[in-house]
Amino acid sequence: MPSHDDDRDAPLRADVHLLGELLGDVIRTREGIAVFETVELVRRLARSARQGRAEDFERLRAEVLGRLSTDDALPVARAFAHFLALANIAEQHHRIRRRRQYLADPSAGAQPGSLAETFGRLTAGGMRADAICEAVAHLSIGLVLTAHPTEVSRRTLLLKHNRLAAALARRDRPDLTPLEQDEVLASLRRVVLELWETDEVRRDRPSPSDEVRWGLAVFEQTLWDAVPLYLRALDRAMRLQLGAGLPDRVVPVRFGSWMGGDRDGNPNVTARVTWRACLMARWVAAGLYLREVDALRAELSIVAANGELRARAGPTREPYRAILRGVASELRKTQERLSALLAEANGRQPGEGATVPGDPRTTGHWPPATDLPIDEAALRDVLDLCHRSLVETGNDEIAGGRLLDLRRRLAAFGLVLAPIDVRQDARLHDRAMDAVSRTAGAEGVWTEWNEDRRYRFLQPHLTGDGKRLALDAGADEQVREVFDTFRAISRIPARSLGAYVITMASRPSDVLAVVALQRAAGVREPLRVVPLFETGRDLEGAGAMLRQLLAVPEYRTAIAGRQEVMVGYSDSSKDIGRFAAGWLLYRAQEEIVAACADAGVSLTVFHGRGGSVGRGGGPTHLAIRALPPGAVSGCLRVTEQGEMIQAHWGLPDLAVRTLEVFTTATLEATLVPGQAPPAEWRAEVDRLAGHARAAFRGLVYEHPRFVEYFRAATPEVEIGRLNIGSRPARRAPGGDVGSLRAIPWQFAWTQTRLLLASWLGLEAALPDATAGEAALRRVRDMYKGWPYFQVLLDLMEMVLAKADPHIALEYDQALVAPDLRPLGDEVRARLARAIERLKVATGHRELLESNRVLKRSIAVRNPYVDPINLLQVELLRRLRATPEPDEGLRTAFAVTVNGIAAGMRNAG
């Protein structure tokens, strides 16, 4: 008999089977029977090998894949990469299907993490409905899209994937006629053929503006529709279970962006790029609002209106259409004006090729964008007037339709869609302040001064009535770019920008300098300044640094009782390993919470998370549940990076579910914060983290040949040559791990399936089965009773379940010098110890025994990822043996990178 889970997943298996058959048909038709038979042979051998036939693995590696020419290897790699991408689409669609089944069948119970389930659990626990409504009304969740280069798929392919998902959804309809069924199948076949006929490899490195366009497409294609759907679902759940709906202007979740604003280590993001990104966002927003206003005009043929609307509309039979006609006209003019400004921001007039007088590089002048035909307040005024008029004339139901959705969109997106954060390294600000201090004629320069001297220099420039610093025009190019950025901020409309995030912020003066530089540039509405604590040292000192900063009177006045602090998961994990970094982040947040509470300042913690566990990734509800008490008080910001944007926001229904989970997790963390752990548990994790840290650093930073091994055993160097993102892979020249960015560090280990960056250190932290009974009981009690510790081990269990030492061994044997291979043996032995010790700590007999869905998904994927890994090993061997490899070899390698990323799901 099939299990209930098997029955539930039968439609998913059917979708995967269908898409696989369609792909096979395309390969047979377009590439020929020989290629198709090779792909089928590889698939059969890989499945047989996974079932325990070692001889088939050897045959697959040596006799089949190892003998393929580059020309023959490419279609095989493409076949498996496309299949994994198609399986991902089917899984995404199945998530949507399961959500709809929960919503359609009350007898099935509420979906875990849903609005209905959370509201029901909170009220059943004694929480008053009005208290829950009040908490929802004050939620402030910021989701910030970033362009970190872990999404290796071209946008062209992602759009086709969305079309496939839409066709799968249509195929689920029970009322399709035979003709419609044939049409759906034909559309699926066409898109699979289009995918096969499309070049999946980026031939040019994307520019920052390309990344901005990619981010804006997410708003156009999913979020614009998903947000009002989510707000309607929230309103309905509140009415049904709490007795009161969602106020019209309350939007618990808003979006931000780093695309076009994140210049930390990326010289390609300039002041002009940020200016242009803001214009592009407003241009897209104007077009979206124009489309909705035109649709609203078509609906509001209503004659009845209140006196206020009639007075504004003038003598007309259809006052709503008349007043909205004017709004549409203003939106069109706004788009035209923004088009002209974009041309000017590009240094050209429409149709001309010369630099224009408004080019900021030649004049320091930024074309104004504050005099647009329509602004947010004017649009809100008209929409609110239409709403009041409909309600006062008894047309409440009409007011609650498209008009309400548009009013909520305006509350959520404004006219900018997503304010852009500016991010820069504190060390560049130091260089800028050196130039400023020289221009001011100060004794010595900024970088030579201690904190007290810096404060005395800045104090007159921190308040509105003080004098401004002079921005030195004679500084070097990098410093001039810093000054240009502040000048651009002064010219860009304030609503287009979000926060100013400072990387490597370790001292109060790092923050105060940005406050003063904004004043020096004439910024009328200064951006909130957000220190980012990410390295081990900065996290350890975060609480003390924040206390010193909040003791500065001028700064306390400037922030008006609100402080935002960002914590980064990537560099800390690369510094000391994920286990030790997790505890360091927890303690740092505790100290940040205490510092703000003691100062009487409200706190928003901004979490810089990636997709992989090694960079703070993992299921949203688990991540929020693991935060320390007080870290979520109705406010939260989180980055959504790389491949996770497509996973969370690629389809409207997925986006609605993601918004729901962020809302319920943040609400529950606010209303039912966890308890501080007992002192003995804290002491135990301190001890365990110390062991983990020593083990991680002992190998990664202190072993004299580890970097040599890393660069040989992984495709880190070759990945750096791919056209994935606009940002360089290294912050600075150098061959050590410290100079490497956290993203390619994680990405490289994911490609080899060793996933070292996410688990190394765990093997030294947790006790083994021979430890004393007291030690084992304590760790197991911590796992059962402390959400932070449970979530940390659960996430690491997921990583260990995906890790594959046998595949990693293939990289060592083919690519690593014999005298370095013992290092690989040691790493794999550590992996085995980590797995055994984690099972001891959790009491699990096997990995993922409590998460059968994920366990089954990994098992299904492995036979399709294995051949791509083996091909990648062979292609890397050829690349490294060829002084000038041809384009075909590079392309085949790039396809394997795409395929493995698709198979692993959270690549970086």
φ and ψ at residue 37, rounded to 5 degrees: -70, -35
Taking phi first (over 0 means left), then psi (-120 to 50 degrees means alpha), and beta for anything else, what does residue 618 get? left
> Does 467 lie in the same domain as 399?
no
Residue keyed to tokens 């320390």: 628
Asked if 574 is an active-site residue, the reply is yes
Active-site choice (94, 148, 621, 691): 148
The candidate with the shortest Cα–Cα distance to 333, out of 294, 369, 372, 296, is: 372
Q: What angle do CA 810, 814, 818 make, to 5 degrees?
A: 110
State how far the Cα of 15 lies from the Cα of 28, in Å rounded to an integer. Answer: 20
Q: Is 610 helix (H, G, I), strand (E, B) or coil?
A: coil
> What's the CA gap between 680 and 255, in Å, rounded?
40
Alpha-carbon distance 168 to 184, whole Å? 8
Q: Let me know whether 411 and 299 are in one domain.
A: yes
- Can you list the positions of beta strands (E) in 9-150? 140-146
What is the spatial distance between Cα 903 and Cα 87, in angstroms, rounded to a whole number?
Answer: 9
Residues belonging to the chain: 908
The tokens for 845 are: 């007999």
CB-based burial of residue 49 (10 Å sphere; 0-12 exposed, 13-18 middle, 19+ buried)? buried
Backbone conformation region of residue 369, classed left if phi is above 0, alpha if psi is from -120 to 50, else beta: alpha
DSSP bridge partners of 255:
143
- State the DSSP H helix or E strand holding residue 257, giving kind and residue range, or none if neither: strand 253-257
Backbone φ, ψ for residue 568 (5° rounding): -110, 140
Question: Which residues lie below 8 Å from residue 760, measured CB to CB, with a gap of 6+?
Answer: 577, 578, 695, 696, 699, 700, 827, 830, 834
Residue 476 lies in a domain: yes
Tokens found for residue 119: 């509201």
Asked whether residue 866 is domain-assigned, the answer is: yes
Q: Are residues 187 and 49 in the same domain?
A: yes
Q: How many angstroms separate the CA atoms of 615 and 266, rounded?
A: 20
* pLDDT of amino acid 872: 97
Which DSSP symbol is given to 463?
A: S
The helix/strand/coil state of 368 is coil
Helix/strand/coil percent split, the chain, to 5: 65, 5, 30
User: What ranges make up the beta strands (E) of 622-731?
Assistant: 635-641
Beta strands in 358-508 (DSSP E): 420-425, 497-503
63, 165: one domain: yes
Sign of CA dihedral 579, 582, 586, 587: positive
In a domain, 762, yes or no: no
Whether residue 269 is found in the same domain as residue 390: yes
**642 found inside a domain:** no
Which residues, including other chains, have CB under 8 Å from residue 112's CB and lie 6 or more apart?
none
* Ranges in the chain, pLDDT < 50: 1-4, 150-152, 348-365, 612-617, 908
Residue found under tokens 């059968």:
852
Same domain, 344 and 362: yes
Parent domain of 884: 1-109+155-199+855-908
CATH of the domain at 267: 1.20.1440.90
- Amino acid letter, residue 78: R
Residues 208, 247 share a domain: yes
Q: What is the pLDDT of residue 470?
A: 85
Per the structure block, which two tokens stand in for 808?
């990693």
Which residue out of 93, 429, 574, 607 is catalytically annotated?
A: 574
pLDDT of residue 159: 84
Examine residue 560 and state whether it is found in any structural domain, yes or no.
no
Asked if residue 700 belongs to a domain, the reply is no
**Residue 904's closest CA among 746, 710, 713?**
746
Question: How many whole angstroms separate alpha carbon 541 and alpha carbon 555?
Answer: 19
Which tokens in the block code for residue 787?
Answer: 């959400």
* Predicted local distance difference test score (pLDDT) of residue 358: 38
Domains held by the chain: number: 3
Domain boundary among 399, 418, 437: 418
Q: What is the pLDDT of residue 744?
A: 82
Same domain, 188 and 211: no
- Please give the sequence-ordered ranges of beta strands (E in DSSP) within 594-662, or none if there are none: 602-608, 635-641
Same domain flag for 325 and 337: yes
Same domain, yes or no, for 383 and 289?
Answer: yes
In a domain, 147, yes or no: no
Q: What is the pLDDT of residue 370?
A: 60
* 10-31 and 33-50 helices, crossing angle to 10°: 140
Residue with tokens 């110890």: 833
User: What is the structure's pLDDT at 199?
Assistant: 86
Could you say which of 370, 397, 418 is where a domain stops? 418
Positive or negative, the Cα torsion across 131, 137, 140, 146? Answer: positive
pTM exceeding the 0.85 threshold for the entire prediction: yes
| pLDDT value for 723 | 67
Question: Cβ(1)–Cβ(171) under 8 Å?
Answer: no
- Residue 488 carries which side chain, given as an amino acid letter? A
The CA-based angle 778-779-782, given to 5 degrees, is 85
DSSP category for residue 501: E
Smallest Cα–Cα separation from 286: which of 368, 379, 218? Answer: 379
Domain end call among 486, 518, 533: 533
Same-domain check for residues 195 and 47: yes
887: helix, strand or coil: helix
> Are 411 and 468 part of one and the same domain?
no
- What span, in angstroms and rounded, lies between the C-alpha atoms of 232 and 226? 10
Asked if residue 293 belongs to a domain, the reply is: yes
Nearest in space to 533 (alpha carbons), one of 591, 580, 489? 591
